């Protein structure tokens, strides 16, 4: 039992990036929020593992644009203008960078869902990109309008997961990656959600499952659940008290876990970027959500080096904001407003 408790305690610290037994709650220093001008995006965003290339969907031109996060004005069409994505029927639901030259794109064509591996263009090049592989996921009869369907790649780059597909498709699908080759995904070795719905998921540093779940049909606070990489039942489940969770991502440098969450008009849980801190309440392990930046209509997030988070949003015409998260706690202050 002590070994089990030790694993849970270490797991919580890894999941939330906090110091177990110490809260970074009300004394958190607010993050610095900087709008990135000239980015027309309405949702999906991804970044290469090195953090050197940021990619996002430009829905108005049906293309995926790449940019240098250190020099955001340096951008180019990675997929879409000539062949490749432009010729694929349907709409883009999610994107994920497999490596610097390969991107996975999740497609919905009238209820027929598929996952495609595309070879992306490097900056300064022309010509058509290549579609390397297409994996059919199946047909969904349910309406995906207003539903977040996401695509996640594990830190080892050997696993991918699709979450949030409409019925009758499974709520979570998992598949293996060999090089740039995708295996057909299935429900095998996926988390057993026990009737709850997955609001968002990511993989932990050892390819563990980190899933935010909610009770079906209820606008309730999410629960943070931790599963072994082999799936099965939850090894740890913690109430977050955080409603409206829509996306989640790791900062691999610091081990912190960030989520887009909150509810419009809520003083206690405003919409924006939240950090999940580890805490001990007596002898009980808990996690504490902390709002570090308010961002209206936030859609997707990725973590970059040096404690920078990029958030896409649909507020106004849509765009991206760069959020620099502080290194250490400071005096209490209200989080900055995003666009």
Contact assessment for residue 313 and residue 53, using Cβ atoms and an 8 Å cutoff:
no
8 A C-beta contact, residue 53 and residue 72: no
Rounded mean pLDDT of 205-228?
Answer: 91
Question: Cα–Cα distance between 274 and 145 in angstroms, integer?
Answer: 25
Nearest residue to 175 via CA among 226, 94, 252, 114:
114
Give the mean pLDDT of 200-225. Answer: 91
Most confident among 61-65, 146-150, 288-292 (mean pLDDT): 288-292
Q: Who wins on pLDDT, 186 or 255?
A: 186
What is this structure's pTM? Answer: 0.88
Question: pLDDT tens-digit profile of 87-141?
Answer: 778 888 999 999 999 999 999 999 999 999 999 988 877 655 678 999 999 999 8
pLDDT at 136 (0 to 100): 97
Q: What CATH number should be reported for the domain holding residue 289? A: 2.120.10.30
SS (H, E, C) the chain: CHHHHHHHHHHHHHHHCCCCCCCCCCCCCCCEEEEECCCCCCCCEEECCCCCCEEEEECCCCEEEEEECCEEEEEEEEECCCCHHHHCCCEEEEEEEEECCEEEEEEEECCEEEEEEEECCCCCCCCCCEEEEEEEEEECCCCCCCCCCEEEECCCCCEEEEECCCCCCCCEEEEEEECCEECCCECCCCECCCCCEEEEEEECCCCCEEEEEECCCCCCCEEEEEEECCEEEEEEEEEEEECCCCEEEEECCCCEEEEEECCCCCCCCCCEEEEEEEEEECCEEEEEEEEEEECCCEEEEEEECCCEEEEEECCCCCEEEEEECCCCCCCCCCCEECC
| pLDDT of 330 higher than 70 | no
pLDDT of residue 72: 83
Higher pLDDT, 229 or 24: 229
Domain region containing 317: 2-337
Number of structural domains the chain divides into: 1
Instruction: Write out pLDDT tens, residues 259-277.
Output: 999 999 999 999 999 999 8
Spatial neighbors of 8 by CB under 8 A, at least 6 apart, are: 235, 236, 285
- Give pLDDT tens digits for 6-65: 444 455 555 555 433 333 344 445 789 999 887 776 678 999 998 999 999 887 667 888
Return the pLDDT at 281. Answer: 76
Q: What mean pLDDT comes out for the span 294-299? A: 93
In angstroms and rounded to an integer, the radius of gyration of the C-alpha atoms of the chain is: 19
pLDDT at 166 over 60: yes
> Once rounded to an integer, what is the mean pLDDT over residues 287-316?
92
Q: Exposed e or buried b for every residue in 191-203, given b needs 16+ CB within 10 A?
A: bebeebbbbbbbb
Would you state the pLDDT for residue 105?
A: 94
Tell which wins on pLDDT, 284 or 83: 284
**What pLDDT is recorded for position 338?**
55
pLDDT of residue 155: 92
pLDDT at 57: 86
Q: Answer yes or no: are the C-beta atoms of 248 and 200 closer than 8 Å.
A: yes
Per-residue b or e along 68-93, where b marks 16 or more CB atoms closer than 10 Å to that residue's CB: ebeebeebbbbbbbeebbeebeeebb
Position 140 scores a pLDDT of 93
Q: What pLDDT is attached to residue 38?
A: 78
Which two tokens mark 304? Answer: 């970059």
82 pLDDT above the threshold of 70:
no
Q: Count Cβ atoms below 10 Å from residue 286 Cβ, excluding itself.
A: 19
Per-residue pLDDT band for 283 (boundaries 50, 70, 90) equals confident
% of the chain beyond a pLDDT of 70: 81
Contact 75, 68 (CB under 8 A): yes
- Could you identify the residue written with the tokens 């949030």? 164
Q: Write down the mean pLDDT value for the chain.
A: 84
């Amino acid at each position: 039992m002590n070994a089990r408790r030790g694993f849970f305690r270490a797991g919580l610290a890894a999941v939330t990036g906090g110091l177990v037994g110490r809260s970074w709650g009300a004394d958190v220093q607010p993050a610095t929020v900087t709008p990135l001008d000239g980015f027309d995006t309405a949702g999906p965003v991804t970044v290469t593992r090195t953090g050197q290339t940021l990619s996002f969907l430009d829905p108005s031109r049906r293309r995926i644009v790449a940019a240098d996060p250190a020099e955001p004005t340096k951008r180019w069409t990675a997929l879409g203008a000539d062949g490749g994505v432009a010729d694929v029927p349907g709409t883009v639901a999610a994107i994920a960078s497999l490596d610097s030259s390969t991107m996975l794109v999740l497609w919905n064509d009238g209820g027929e869902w598929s996952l495609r591996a595309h070879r992306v263009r490097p900056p300064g090049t022309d010509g058509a990109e290549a579609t390397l592989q297409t994996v059919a996921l199946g047909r969904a009869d349910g309406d995906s309008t207003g539903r977040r369907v996401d695509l996640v790649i594990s830190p080892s780059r050997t696993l991918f997961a699709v979450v949030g597909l409409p019925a009758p498709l499974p709520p979570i699908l998992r598949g293996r990656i060999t090089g740039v080759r995708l295996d057909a995904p299935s429900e095998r070795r996926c988390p057993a959600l026990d009737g709850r719905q997955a609001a968002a998921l990511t993989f932990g540093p050892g390819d563990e499952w980190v899933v935010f779940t909610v009770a079906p049909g209820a606008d309730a606070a999410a629960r943070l659940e931790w599963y072994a990489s082999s799936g099965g039942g939850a090894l740890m489940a913690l109430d977050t008290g955080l409603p409206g969770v829509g996306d989640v991502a790791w900062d691999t440098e610091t081990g912190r876990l960030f989520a887009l969450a909150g509810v419009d008009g809520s003083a206690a849980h405003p919409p924006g970027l939240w950090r999940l801190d580890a805490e001990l309440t007596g002898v009980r392990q808990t996690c504490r959500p902390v709002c570090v930046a308010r961002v209206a209509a936030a859609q997707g997030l990725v973590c970059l080096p040096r404690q920078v988070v990029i958030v896409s949003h649909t507020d106004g015409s849509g765009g991206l904001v760069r959020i620099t998260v502080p290194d250490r706690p400071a005096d209490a202050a209200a989080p900055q407003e995003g666009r």
